[in-house]
Structures are given as C-alpha cells and as structure tokens.
C-alpha cells in the first residue's frame, strides 16, 4: 500500500480512537488525559500495535499542542489579574513549591538520576493541572465559591513559576554553562517583565494587531503569531511554551475571548496528540518497575497539595469546609507534568525511566484529582458529624 495511504489510515484511526476515549472519559466524569496516555502506550514502542510512518507529523503536532496549551492558559489571565494574584498568593505559592517540588526532587535523587533528574521530577510533582482543575470546578458548580479565588491565585503563581522554571530546565538539559544558565533566566525575567508592562499599558495595541472581523483572518493571525513567538523563544532557549504563555497574557479583552473560543478546538486536538505521542514514546514494560514509586509520590503529593490549599484558604479567613475544598481542588496533575517529562527525556540527559515514572504518576493524579475534589465534601461532613456525635455522647 502507498506510504501516504498508510499514514492517512493510521492518523484517521488515531483521531477516531481519541474521540472514543474522550467520550468514555466524559461518560465516567474524569479528564481524558489518562486515557490518551494509555492509548499512546498501547500503540507505541512495545505496545500492542506499533504505528509507523506518522512520526514526523505527530512530533510537530505534539509541539503545536504544547504551544496552544500555554497560549490559551495565558489568554485566561490579564496582566492586572496576574499582578493581583501574585500579590495575594506569593506566600502560599512559596509553600506550594517547598511542599510539592521536594518529593519529586528527592525521588529523582534516590533513583540515581542526579541533579538534572531531581530538577525535572521537582517540576513534575509541583505543577497542578489548570485545565483539569478549571473543568472540575465548573462541573461541580464551585466557580462562585469563596475558596475558588484562592485556588486560582495559587495556579497563577504556579504558572508564573513555570515561566521561570522552564528556561532553567531547558538550559540545564542543553548542558550550557552556569553563565549561560543565568543568561537564560535573565532573558526569561526580562521577557516576563516587558510583556507585563506592555500588557498593562499597551495591551489594546497588541490585541489590535492580531484582531480581525473576519474569522479566517483572525485565526491565521493568532495561530501564526503564537507559533512565531514560540519559535523565537525556543531559539533564545527561553522555551516555546513560555513564549506562547506570554503572548496570551499580552492579548486582552474581547480579542482574548474570541481567540479562546476559536482556538479551543485546535488546542484540544493537538493537545490530545501531545499526550498520545508521549505515550507512544514510552514503553509500557518500563512502567511496572516504577509503579511503586509513582503510587508513593501520588499519596505524598496529594497530601501536600491539600495542605497547601488548606493553608492558603485559612489565611483568607475561609471556613474548614472551604479550606478542604481548596486543597482538594489543587491535587490534579496533568499536561505540564508531561511537558516537563517530555522535554527532559527528549534531551537524552536523563534515564528514559523518568518518562515511565511521569506517565504512571500523571495517570494516577489525573484520576485522583477529580475524585478527591468530588468526595472531599461528603468525607469532611462525615468526619465532622462523627466528631459531633462523640462530643454529644461524651
């Protein structure tokens, strides 16, 4: 059969299969990310039916997926919201780093992956999944709750921390000198500062450049500018993802709303390919040896995220039930953990087992997160009721 025909058949099967997996996830009320990863594992190296002939397309598609994920994340925030969120959440953000990056760093060192592996695993266990959390809060009708601004403030801090972390990780993975690493961080800090100033004072002009009354022209300009900025950022070793995120921040108002609405289907498509490609590049036989570590990390970092949210909500004077909901909402890990693991493994600087550990960990946390958020109210209510009964009978 002709090579093009085989590639089309395989891509068609992949996209249709992703649609079925997404439908299953929607039915059972979980994020589709774990199912996309499992789908990739089933058809990748060592899987049931390895796919050949679509590697070039899937690689580019997965890179576009990362760019769109971060672009739309940036579109959710205005520069003023970022500044306000940072002022409100910086103490909780620092606690979040200490509590949730430490387990991953310790695991990386204990597994013999050295400082580079420890740095990568710290990011994998630290960053929550904004996409999963936003969906869960919406599904549970908690967007108007008192604790929700606290959750969003912590997520804003994490996203800004990623804008600094990714350039550092990229520089370390590239094996640049200490001076080169400092340069990468300096460029990233300068870029963030410049973008925030431009967005605060001249955001309307940035929006006007990409805006258009014609939907086709608007889509081409927004997508083209995102890929262009991401490519330039990558060339500067700042990280394509950070470049896309910063562009999203600079676009504001109705332009940001229209861009979000038009790009969401593209993001979902290419992001799904990103998770599948990560699974394709992970051998399923490498997961069982690291499953125990993944479970241990999942348990520990579930508790540390709950503690983070609890403390952050307590500082805002929120009652115990709201504190518990805030902590449970932050548990989910997802797209960013896989982005970090993908960058690390692709560099060849760390053992490929890191990909297996990250996959197993995200599979667990992408399920634990929504489940924890759903059951926290009845669990806390049950505990409080039991304590009330004991007090009454004492």
Highest mean pLDDT among 86-100, 155-169, 319-333, 369-383: 319-333
pLDDT at 315 over 80: yes
pLDDT of residue 383: 67
In the three-class reduction of DSSP (H, G, I as helix; E, B as strand; rest coil), residue 64 is classed as helix
pLDDT over 90 percentage in the chain: 20
pLDDT of residue 292: 93
pLDDT of residue 385: 67
Residues 73 and 132 sit within 8 Å (Cβ to Cβ): no
Torsion of CA 131, 283, 342, 260, to 10 degrees: -30
pLDDT of residue 99: 95
Encode pLDDT of 39-68 as tens digits.
Answer: 887 776 655 566 666 777 777 888 888 788
CATH code of the domain made up of 57-381: 1.20.1530.20
The contacts of residue 112 (CB under 8 Å, 6+ apart) are 351
Encode pLDDT of 242-267 as tens digits.
Answer: 778 778 888 878 888 899 899 988 88
pLDDT of residue 178: 56
Domain ranges of the chain: 57-381
Residues 260 and 72 sit within 8 Å (Cβ to Cβ): yes
**What would the mean pLDDT of 93-115 be, rounded to a whole number?**
93
In the three-class reduction of DSSP (H, G, I as helix; E, B as strand; rest coil), residue 369 is classed as helix
The contacts of residue 51 (CB under 8 Å, 6+ apart) are 10, 14, 43, 44, 280
Give the C-alpha separation, 138 to 134, whole Å. Answer: 6
CB atoms within 10 A of CB 15: 13
pLDDT over 70 percentage in the chain: 85
pLDDT at 28 over 60: yes
In the three-class reduction of DSSP (H, G, I as helix; E, B as strand; rest coil), residue 316 is classed as coil
pLDDT of residue 9: 82
The contacts of residue 331 (CB under 8 Å, 6+ apart) are 128, 301, 302, 305, 306, 365, 368, 369, 372, 373
Give the C-alpha separation, 394 to 389, whole Å. Answer: 9
Give the C-alpha separation, 296 to 371, whole Å. Answer: 18
Confidence of residue 195 (pLDDT cuts 50, 70, 90): low
**What would the mean pLDDT of 237-246 be, rounded to a whole number?**
72
């Amino acid at each position: 059969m002709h090579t093009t025909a085989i590639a089309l058949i395989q891509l068609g099967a992949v996209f249709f299969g992703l649609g079925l997996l997404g439908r299953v996830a929607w039915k059972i009320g979980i994020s589709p990310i774990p199912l996309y990863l499992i789908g990739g594992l089933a058809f990748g190296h060592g899987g049931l039916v390895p796919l050949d002939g679509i590697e070039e397309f899937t690689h580019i598609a997965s890179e576009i997926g990362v760019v769109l994920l971060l672009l739309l994340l940036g579109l959710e925030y205005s520069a003023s919201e970022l500044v306000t969120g940072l002022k409100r959440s910086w103490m909780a953000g620092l606690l979040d780093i200490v509590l949730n990056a430490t387990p991953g760093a310790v695991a990386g060192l204990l597994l013999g992956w050295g400082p580079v592996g420890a740095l990568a695993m710290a990011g994998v266990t630290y960053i929550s999944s904004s996409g999963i959390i936003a969906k869960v809060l919406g599904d549970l009708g908690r967007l108007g709750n008192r604790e929700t601004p606290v959750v969003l403030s912590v997520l804003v801090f994490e996203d800004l921390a990623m804008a600094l972390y990714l350039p550092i990780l990229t520089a370390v993975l590239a094996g640049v000198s200490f001076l080169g690493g400092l340069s990468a961080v300096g460029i990233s800090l300068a870029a963030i500062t410049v973008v925030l100033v431009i967005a605060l004072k001249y955001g309307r002009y940035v929006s006007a450049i990409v805006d258009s009354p014609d939907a086709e022209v608007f889509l081409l300009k927004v997508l083209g500018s995102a890929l262009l900025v991401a490519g330039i950022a990558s060339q500067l070793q700042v990280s394509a993802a950070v470049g896309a995120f910063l562009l999203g921040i600079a676009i504001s108002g109705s332009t940001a709303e229209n861009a979000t609405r038009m790009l969401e289907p593209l993001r979902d498509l290419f992001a799904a390919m990103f998770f599948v490609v990560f699974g394709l590049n992970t051998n399923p036989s490498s997961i069982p040896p690291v499953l125990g570590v993944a479970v241990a990390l999942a348990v520990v970092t579930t508790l540390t995220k709950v503690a983070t949210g609890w403390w952050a909500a307590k500082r805002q004077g929120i009652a115990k039930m709201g504190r518990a909901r805030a902590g449970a909402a932050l548990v989910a890990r997802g797209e960013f953990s896989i982005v970090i693991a993908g960058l690390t493994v692709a560099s060849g600087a760390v053992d490929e087992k890191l990909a297996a550990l990250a996959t197993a960990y995200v599979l667990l946390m992408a399920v634990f997160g929504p489940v924890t958020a759903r059951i926290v109210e009845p669990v806390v209510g049950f505990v409080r009721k039991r304590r009330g009964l004991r007090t009454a009978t004492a």
